[in-house]
Structure 1
Amino acid sequence: MDVAPSSAFESNADDPNRRFFQPDIETMSREGIRAAQEKRVLELVPAAYENSPFYRELWSAAGVDPARVRSLDDFFEMVPTFAKDDLRAYRARTGDPFSGLLQVPTSRLTSVMSTSGTTGAPELLPEIWDAAPPLPACSARDLWELGVRPGDRVIVPAGVFRGFFDTFYQEMGLVPIYVDAWIGQGAEIIAALQRYRPTYIQLIMPTVLELERLAGSYDLRDALSSLRGASFAGQPLGAALAAKVSEEWGVELFIYSSAGDTGTAWECREHNGFHLWEDLVLAENLEPEGRGTVPAGEVGELVATDLDNQAAPLIRYRSGDLVRFDPGRCGCGRTHLRQWIIGRLGDETIVRGRPVVVGEVWKAVETQEETHDGMFQIIREERVVDRLRLRVGYAPADGLDLADLGVRLRAAVTDRVGVEPEIELVPVDDLVARSSSVAKFPRVVKA
């Protein structure tokens, strides 16, 4: 960030109604954004070539001469893209835990975090930071937009999320309250809400399911009434659960997603797309199987370049996220790109020649009252299969006829996706407990 969180919050503390945390950056002209990106990229390329064995090997094989990269257009034309599998292959071949990306001695690192590991083995994320790590610090603008202000109490789930949030919240002038938000801790979460009256809570799926389970025993609307908003990430919320949180519980939800593993992209109060902070990430939307740029409004693959990572930046990294972009000014007044994540490259399953996508299965699963949480997994060994196997989580209840539920679900899925599935029904808490990540729930699994 151009301004440290602590100093920026101090300068804004006397004007809590100010719309933007950093107005000069958040409303920068498109020309100004491009100029700032170009300046950073021209610093990034020679440094990466000199200090990163992965980039030196990749770019040398592609005939890249860093001295010839003199503009953003040169960068897009000359520098090759790469994917997570390339990093894994480099790590397996060399034994380098940082996959050849690290550009500084390990003695300079402040911390080493990791990705969630939802799509494979977790990737190490070395960081250099002073007051606050890059990933949490980029969220300061988003939390300000949500309504968080210095002096507020905030509830966050304790867990091994990427990024060290403790110092960050304190630098923002906030009082963090850490609560175990995993399965079985719903009463403790509600007690913390009632006791501390926070203005913000970070939600994850187990938290939402815990609150839903206790809705008949507690007045959740009252318990959550102190919140100005709540964030949610890790996976999309189904329509039924999202409506319950906003309409029944009275909580304004701010969803956020990944910015291609370089940071996060949050909704603003308009709830119309996710803002990519383009002073921190250079985002491209490319053809999934090629190098061509996809026009605004059409679906392509997010390719991201870290602009604020001093330790091991990702440079033209193919994220696997299928997205569409809107470069126009948002209704909130911000000028940075907005993205919508449509799905994951490779999540489409081909069943006897028929494509089946996660979103369509989701809509079918939500139609049944016992499975309206939309918790399910597609089980497959390969992308192309002969049968559609689903594992679906249901809410246990007295008198529940599982055989009848299975019949109804098979009919709903068949009608929606055109393929009759094989369905394994499990209690929803058991299904969530199988997740290997506290932040994300994998929708496509091998077993």
Structure 2
Amino acid sequence: MSGPANPQTTVDGAACEFLEPEVECASRESIRADQEAAVLDLVAFAWDNSPLYREHWGAAGVSPDDIRSLDDFTTKIPTLTKAEIKAYRERTGDPYGGLLCVDPKTLTSVTTTSGTTSAPELLPEIWTVAPPLPAVSARDLYAHGLRPSDRVIVPAGAFRNYWDDFYAALGVTPVFADSWLGQGEAMLRAIRKHNVAYMQVHLPAIMEFEKLEAKYDLREAFASVKFFSFAGQPMGAALKRKVTEDWGVKVVTYTSAGDTGTAWEGPDFDGFQLWEDTMLPEVLDTVTGEPVGDKEIGELVATDLDNRVAPYIRFRSGDLVRVTRKSSPIGRTHARMWFAGRRGDETVVDGKAIVVSDVWQLVETLPELSDGMFQIIRSDGPMARLRLRVGYAPERTTDLADLERRLTEVLESELGVGVDLVLLTVEDILQYSSSVAKFPRTAKE
């Protein structure tokens, strides 16, 4: 990585610096030229080394000889789904689903996807100093203010990867702490003692801090913190206001870049940044399969450009997104993305399609439920009524029966369907989490 540039612009009056300005602000022409070169190399490499791609492309009548340009790639190489990877795995017994392009003995680590939307997929990697998954976030961490000599919380154990050497390469000092359930006070002590500047948080950690509001001045406790990063299901608007306004902590959300890496909110909070030197994003109409226009909603189809271990190539993510390649307000030239939902997110109740966001905005209007914790319970057959698990804060709840009545009235009035509720404490509903950072908003009974 090159050294940081001078401030490029200002965000809310503060100077914003880029870690790799020559990359982050590259011309669109150079970005496309580099992508084309990377794609042509990737196609030949995957054909020679991946049994899945050789079989999948061969069945479509395509070989590397047919791919001479980026346009050839996006029009001739067939897309790939998780279902096709799973089918290959089940048919052949290959745990990597035919994607692995290297000798397994050379792998440094094997982690997995979160498993929120489907069964977890293996993520094999080869790395020396910094694992690829964390390293792709370096530009984003720097832009939000992380600097050498800062101290950062590292969750004990393997949280999606090994971050220690990556943080050391950035010049920051890791502070190891258990940030899972029941560790709220210990986390506050660690932040105060070590003047922590940054940490990853997930919903359970935020809930732990929220329980301590009456006992601690959280604005004072988080005085050293430059920002939290947050991933998993989106934080509700009410809870985010509490963290940012009452506690005084900036929250930077990151999400999946079509399972090829991560995409982070930029300093201007205007979309999630896709780094196009590491991945090629396409957005396709879910019916026609044709590319959609700038900022039009379609399915994200992602290709790993920097992965020669087990690359996803024209991978259908299932994410419904809007994407623009217009420069951001702070001068970055790589694509930005806005998340619109998941294919199949709708739950049909009594003939009416209900989406997660419809329920979310209604649930968090009640003070006892401002954490926005709920799950839509789906069944295999037709649903005549909307069934929900909803998490309430005991310290803000005095009458459960009254809460159930008020919530039912709001939901039925606004959604136009019958509603059946199960109220659980926030702590109890978190037991339905699918991983340390993921709380699925829909679940099968």
* Same fold? TM cut 0.5: yes
CA contact (8 A) 1:254 1:267 kept: yes
Instruction: Tell whether the 8 Å contact from 1:136 to 1:165 is kept in structure 2 after alignment.
Output: yes
The list of structure 1 runs, each at least 4 consecutive aligned residues, that deviate by more than 3 angstroms after superposition, is: 11-18
Paired residue for 2:230?
232
Note the C-alpha offset of 1:160: 3.6
After TM superposition, the structure 1 = structure 2 runs for residues 435-446 of structure 1, keeping only pairs within 5 Å, are 435-446=433-444
**2:153 is the counterpart of 1:182:** no
Matches within 5 A, 1:355-394: 355-382=353-380, 384-394=382-392
Asked if the contact 1:435–1:442 (Cα under 8 Å) also holds between the matched residues in 2, the reply is yes
Kept in 2, the 8 Å contact 1:362–1:374? The answer is yes
Aligned amino acid, residue 146 of structure 1:
H
CA offsets, 1:210-232, max 9 Å, x none?
11111110010011111121111
Pick one of 41, 52, 58 that aligns with 1:60. 58
What one-letter code is carried by the residue in structure 1 that aligns with 2:155?
Answer: P
Matching of residue 289 in structure 1 with residue 287 in structure 2:
yes
Question: Does the CA-based 8 Å contact 1:197-1:227 persist in structure 2?
Answer: yes
Question: Is 1:93 aligned with 2:91?
Answer: yes
Q: Distance in 1 between matches of 2:225 and 2:395?
A: 31
SS of 2:254 mapped into structure 1: strand
Amino acid at match of 2:262: T
| TM-score for both structures, normalised by structure 1 | 0.95
Q: CA deviation at 1:445?
A: 0.7
Return the offset for 1:441: 0.7
CA deviation after TM superposition for structure 1 residue 131, in Å: 1.1
The 3 A distance-change label for structure 1 pair 79 and 123 is same
Alignment of 1:335-414 (within 5 A): 335-382=333-380, 384-397=382-395, 400-414=398-412
Cα displacement (A) at 1:303 = 0.5
Deviations 1:162-196 (A, max 9, x none): 22211101111111112211111110111111101
Counterparts of 1:25 and 1:145, CA distance in 2:
13
Structure 1 residue 415 corresponds to structure 2 residue 410: no
Matching residue's letter, 2:288: G
Distance 1:399 1:233, change over 3 A: closer
Shift of the 18–364 alpha-carbon distance from structure 1 to 2, 3 Å rule, reads closer
SS in structure 1 opposite 2:23?
helix
Give SS of 2:56's match: helix
What does the per-residue CA deviation read over 1:418-440, in whole Å, with 9 as the maximum and x for residues that have no partner?
A: 22211111111111122130011
Unaligned regions of 5+ residues in structure 1, if any? none
Change (3 A) 1:299 1:399: closer
List per-residue Cα deviations over 1:251-278 (Å, max 9, x = no partner). 1111111100011111111111110000
Identify unmatched segments of 5+ residues in structure 2.
9-14
Matches within 5 A, 1:416-431: 416-431=414-429
TM-superposed deviation, 1:69: 0.1
Asked if the contact 2:356–2:441 (Cα under 8 Å) also holds between the matched residues in 1, the reply is: yes
| Distance in structure 1 (CA, Å) of the matches to 2:414 and 2:166 | 45
What TM-score results when the alignment is normalised by the length of structure 2?
A: 0.95
Q: CA RMSD in A?
A: 1.7
In the aligned structure 2, how far is the partner of 1:157 from the partner of 1:433?
19
CA positional deviation for 1:159: 4.5
Measure the CA separation in 2 of the matches of 1:384 and 1:61.
37
Amino-acid identity (%):
54
Conserved? CA contact 1:283–1:304, under 8 Å = yes
Asked if structure 1 preserves the Cα contact closer than 8 Å seen for 2:292 and 2:298, the reply is: yes
2:365 is aligned with what amino acid? T
1:391-447 per-residue CA deviation (whole Å, 9 max, x = no partner) reads 000011387221111111111112332222111111111111221300111111112
2-structure distance, mates of 1:168, 1:397: 40
CA distance in 2, matches of 1:108, 1:312: 13
Count residues with an aligned counterpart: 439
> SS of 1:154's equivalent?
strand
- Look up the match of 2:242: 244
Q: Aligned pair 1:253/2:218, yes or no?
A: no
Q: Following TM superposition, by how much is the alpha carbon of 1:308 offset from its aligned partner in structure 2, in angstroms?
A: 1.0
The 2-side partners of 1:327 and 1:398 are apart by 45
**AA matched with 2:429:** L
Q: Deviations over 1:71-111 (max 9, x none)?
A: 00000110011111111111111111000000011122111
Match of 1:329, SS state, is coil
2-structure distance, mates of 1:398, 1:44:
55
Within a 5 Å distance, the mapping from 1:14-413 to structure 2 comes to 19-382=17-380, 384-397=382-395, 400-413=398-411
Contact 1:128–1:310 (CA under 8 A) maintained in structure 2: no
Which whole-Å CA distance do the structure 2 matches of 1:436 and 1:178 have between them? 24
How many Å separate the matches in 2 of 1:415 and 1:406? 14
Match of 2:430 among 398, 415, 432: 432
Say which SS state the counterpart of residue 212 (structure 1) adopts. helix
> Secondary structure at 1:341's aligned position in 2?
strand
What are the Cα deviations for residues 278-331 of structure 1, in whole angstroms up to 9, with x where unaligned?
A: 000100011123320111111111110001112000000010111001211111
> In structure 2, what residue type is equivalent to 1:202?
Q
Query: In 1, Cα distance between the equivalents of 2:130 and 2:375?
Result: 36
| Aligned partner letter, 1:168 | F
SS at match of 1:385: coil
Q: Secondary structure at 1:67's aligned position in 2?
A: helix
Q: Deviation digits for residues 350-398 of structure 1, max 9, x if unmatched?
A: 1121010000100010011111100000111338523211000001138
Deviation at 1:333?
1.0
**Residues 398 and 391 (structure 1), Cα distance of their counterparts in 2 relative to 1, 3 Å cut:** closer
| Preserved CA contact (<8 Å) 1:276 1:338 | yes
In structure 2, the CA distance between the partners of 1:245 and 1:398, relative to structure 1 (3 Å rule), is closer
Amino acid at match of 1:107: K
Distance of 1:260 and 1:161 partners within structure 2: 19
